[in-house]
Chain A
Amino acid sequence: MANVLLIIFTISLLYLGIAHRLFTYIKILAFQGVLLFGIAFIELIQINIANLTFVLLETIVFKAIAIPYFLNYVIKRNRITRDAEPYLPNFISLIIITLIIITTFVLSNAIADERISKIYFVVALSTLFTGLYIIVTRHKIITHVMGYLVIENGVFILSLAVGNEMPMLVNLGIMLDIFASVFLLGIFVNRIGDVLKDVDVDQLKNLKD
């Protein structure tokens, strides 16, 4: 069952590549949060109950509810236009993300370790590289934050792979999630929208030699 959820997660990455509107990105992030809740529930059954409740609560409350709500608020407040403004056409994005997934699949065959399930590695790495790709190929600053959140989801999946033996690492991953996303979004909500009228990364080119 966990494998099915992981595969659906990978498919959501492909959907991320072809989405046009920012609100679709937010819905995909919320959906990924729910999928991670399911995967955590199935996989981490061996750690103690308090830790498990904490992990599950974090995925549902933070990833699936609070952060999408925050992002919605930021977009409405700063009156950011609906389009995601990619540098490359969406069809090319789809091909590139497919290539990323295939490459990580081939790379994962080089791993000769039986204790780590290969599918976790493939999904985690593809999510990581897809997140990096989204950061690099979109005009808007808010999509940088969304790409970072996708990377965080990938890191969470990677930490689930060892979650049973070392639950502390899963907790650390959650802390990273909370700290960094709250902080990034905090700056965003407060300042960037007010100061930079046109939320484009071309605005961020003033500091250079």
Chain B
Amino acid sequence: MATATRGEIFDKVQNTLVDALGVDADDVSSESTLSGDLGAESIDYLDIVFRLEKNFGIKIPRGDLFPENVMTDPQFVSGGKLTERGVEELRVRMPWANLDRLKDNANVQDLFTVEMIVNYVETKLSNN
């Protein structure tokens, strides 16, 4: 799996989300947000983590892919938007996430995209 191309990783992530969320493959694009576009609820994030671990043979530590403790900390998120401290924290915690996309977005949940998962898996596989 260490030699998987980005396209292969995307295909597997797409299948993972189809199974976990019951969405059509056509609905899953790189830009799709998990909550907004694909309808993921809180328990779905755990489901996605389990399936990614199984499908890619990787271990995902708690809070590594979806750092819920950052998202619920008022120091980092206020009124659904990341604070400056929150942005700094996530730049360290989630180097695979595109934080720039949040500049024009109100909801921090939009941070979780299909592309972010692909980036994360690519990073994990390259470190294996």
Whether both chains belong to one complex is answered with no
Binding site for B on A (CB under 8 A): none
Q: Name B's A-contacting residues (CB within 8 A).
A: none
